[in-house]
Amino acid sequence: MSFLIENAHAAAPAAQQGDPMTGMLFFIGMLALMYFLLIRPQQKRAKEHKKMVEAITKGDEVATNGGMLGKITEVGDQYVSLEIANNVEIKLQRHAIANVLPKGSIKAAKKD
């Protein structure tokens, strides 16, 4: 019956090891990819937001992170006063402003 079953070989073929430089290049490539796809765009957005917040002046119409629309009535170092309705003002931190709206945007929003 031994002619039906071939002899089993206990020794498996040795695994080939790749060049360690290839693994290192792959790792460096992945780090570069993550930097250009994730980290760099976020830093760019943060820089643009900081520049926008520093340029805010009295009379600008803005939208806050909470979704409120209003007109800047007073600007301080850390805080701004925002008029959200006639004779209704709130004070909030400068960095809570999401974006500056074009002039007249609030009037257009009230009509809708």
Specify the pTM.
0.68
**CATH code reported for the domain at 57-112:** 2.30.30.100
Mean pLDDT of 85-91: 93
38-74 per-position pLDDT tens digit: 999 999 999 999 999 999 999 999 999 999 999 999 9
pLDDT given for residue 71 in this prediction: 95
Q: Are 59 and 71 in contact (CB under 8 A)?
A: yes
Of the candidates 54, 61, 43, 45, the residue with the CA atom closest to the CA atom of residue 77: 54
Higher pLDDT, 90 or 106: 90
